[in-house]
Chain A
Amino acid sequence: MTIDDLTRTTGEWLRGVGPMSDVVVSSRIRLARNLAERPFLTTADAGERTDIYRCLSQAITSTSAGADDILVDLETTDDIDCNVLVERHLISRQHAAGEGSRGVTISPSETRAVMINEEDHLRIQGLRSGLQLDALWTEINEIDDALSRNLAFAFNNQLGFLTACPTNVGTGIRVSVMLHLPALRLTKEIERVARAAKDLHLAVRGMYGEGTEAVGDLYQVSNQTTLGKSEDEIINTFSETIIPNIVGYERAARETLARRHESQLDDRVWRAYGVLANARRISSGETQSLLSPIRMSIQMGRFKEFDLATLHELFLYTQPAHLQRMKGRSLDEEQRAVARADFIRKRLA
């Protein structure tokens, strides 16, 4: 399997299925792990980095779960392909832009991606559409167990798994759920939800994590505390309390919009459709903003001009790296804006 094969589909996080998928776009869990008796990457020299990369990539592909994974060596991968992996949520932006020996192993279904030599030696990630944290945890816990049978991870009796940054120490777990919250934004309740989440020590960020803005009404909610709570406790709080509550608020806000502001809601959606179907040049940000009310309307059963699968295709393939890969060459911003509008018009014709 290659990156070419991956780009033939919209991937796991945009499958649009799974529990609460009307609001929950995708769920993600990652575990941070480091080899004992090896320096963290801040002090590892080039030789040590290469050693760690070789040792870990071999260890992952030697497990029964990872036997069919593809290994992408990011040091020798061009910028466009690195960013294709970012847009598919398989690697972080920092990992794409990093330097030296580093890579990622990706399972054929794209539900698991293990970053090697990102901030920690290993970042084991599971990714699924909808709210599927339990299934994710089972999958990545298994590979973590399989790896730790053959590798000695840095672990301390009191502090648990030791990580390069003390904010990840303990379980090393980060649970992130990507939510589509257009109605809460339109009814101006989003700030209240964000404040409540912060009071619960959760981080609320844009689509690509730290320091990114919420484009297209997509918000990522994740835990910040990794020490003093077990993995199950952290996951259960998300599955049973935090996410069902936010989903409940969003659904209620959607009902309110449909009941009290029906014509404004439909007008917004049809105008968005009009622009997408006719624009001659369009930015990635504008595309995502216009797709947002349409996604909500499809989920509410109000908009039937095209389905969710088409919407997700438009969402993914209009992003800069996917667009350039489709065109087979590097494009500047203006060329991308024209190519993007072209692609959308043809897809909607």
Chain B
Amino acid sequence: MVCQHCNQVKATVHITDALPQKREQHLCEACAEKAGVIIKQTHHTTNEILQQFIKHKAGLGVGDDLACPNCGVTFKEFQLKGQLGCPHDYVAFAKLLMPLIQRAHEGGTHHVGKVPSTADGTIKKHTGLLRLRRELQEALEQENYERAARVRDQIRTMEN
């Protein structure tokens, strides 16, 4: 049986409408798709499925093809490899990376550790203050007021 619509290709889609009155249609796959009777399924590779999963986990939309102007690596490539292309990627992908970073580091968003010996005084001071403020908060939560007072004094000295 050939397609009732194009009269050329063998009909492989057979539809019977029961209502409002019984009607039979015999169409080929292409005509059935055009008529909206069937929706062709696209084949997803395992990688695509994984990528969707990572994007879903990271709370990202599909199609984030942001590229780093320095090294040319796209965010998509990072998602596939798990490694970035250059240090500038942290700036180029900041918005997309931060949720991932925060999740991987128990909510940590700011560095409070050592700074390179070549870093200028402002960076050292900034990082040191962040660390001390966190220590102050911890001391207060633990009701260790002696330690809290000590840390508070250190913060004051540094701020001045």
A residues adjacent to B (C-beta < 8 A):
34, 36-40, 42-43, 119, 141, 144-145, 148-149, 152-162, 164-167, 169-171, 173, 201, 224-231
The reply to whether B109 and A227 form a contact with Cβ atoms under 8 Å apart is: yes
Can you report 30 A-B residue pairs in the complex whose CB atoms are below 8 A from each other?
A: A37-B87, A40-B83, A40-B84, A42-B73, A42-B85, A144-B114, A153-B116, A154-B87, A155-B116, A156-B87, A156-B90, A157-B123, A158-B111, A159-B110, A160-B111, A161-B111, A162-B87, A164-B84, A166-B84, A166-B101, A169-B90, A171-B111, A173-B113, A224-B104, A227-B105, A228-B105, A228-B108, A228-B109, A228-B112, A230-B113
Segment 75-110 of B: residues with Cβ below 8 Å from A: 81-87, 90-91, 97, 100-101, 104-110
Interface size range of chain B in the complex: 35 or more
Q: Whole-angstrom distance from the CB of B71 to the nearest CB of chain A?
A: 5
The reply to whether A40 and B106 form a contact with Cβ atoms under 8 Å apart is: no
The reply to whether B105 and A155 form a contact with Cβ atoms under 8 Å apart is: no
Whether a CB of chain A sits under 8 angstroms from the CB of B18 is no
The reply to whether B118 and A201 form a contact with Cβ atoms under 8 Å apart is: no
A-B pairs with beta carbons under 8 A, tally: 115
Q: Whole-angstrom distance from the CB of A55 to the nearest CB of chain B?
A: 16
**A118 to B51 alpha-carbon distance, docked (Å):** 26
The reply to whether A171 and B83 form a contact with Cβ atoms under 8 Å apart is: no
**A42 to B73 alpha-carbon distance, docked (Å):** 10
Given contacts A40-B86, A166-B100, contact A158 B109 (CB under 8 A): yes
Contacting residue for A229 out of B90, B113, B119, B123, CB 8 A: B113
The reply to whether A42 and B84 form a contact with Cβ atoms under 8 Å apart is: yes
- Which residues of A have CB within 8 Å of B119? 155
The reply to whether A229 and B108 form a contact with Cβ atoms under 8 Å apart is: yes
The reply to whether B117 and A145 form a contact with Cβ atoms under 8 Å apart is: yes
The reply to whether A169 and B101 form a contact with Cβ atoms under 8 Å apart is: yes
**A173 to B114 alpha-carbon distance, docked (Å):** 11
The 7 closest A-B CB pairs, nearest first, are: A228-B108, A160-B111, A154-B87, A171-B113, A227-B108, A227-B105, A148-B116
B interface majority secondary structure? loop
B residues adjacent to A (C-beta < 8 A):
71-73, 81-87, 90-91, 97, 100-101, 104-119, 123, 126-127, 131
The reply to whether B113 and A149 form a contact with Cβ atoms under 8 Å apart is: no
Q: Which chain A residue has the least Cβ–Cβ distance from B91? A: A156
**A157 to B100 alpha-carbon distance, docked (Å):** 18
Q: Whole-angstrom distance from the CB of A76 to the nearest CB of chain B?
A: 26
The reply to whether A158 and B84 form a contact with Cβ atoms under 8 Å apart is: no
- Which residues of B have CB within 8 Å of A157? 111, 123, 126-127
The reply to whether B87 and A170 form a contact with Cβ atoms under 8 Å apart is: no
Q: Whole-angstrom distance from the CB of B141 to the nearest CB of chain A?
A: 15
Q: Whole-angstrom distance from the CB of A302 to the nearest CB of chain B?
A: 42
Contacting residue for B113 out of A34, A165, A170, CB 8 A: A170
Contacting residue for B108 out of A145, A154, A161, A225, CB 8 A: A225
Contacting residue for A43 out of B86, B111, B123, CB 8 A: B86
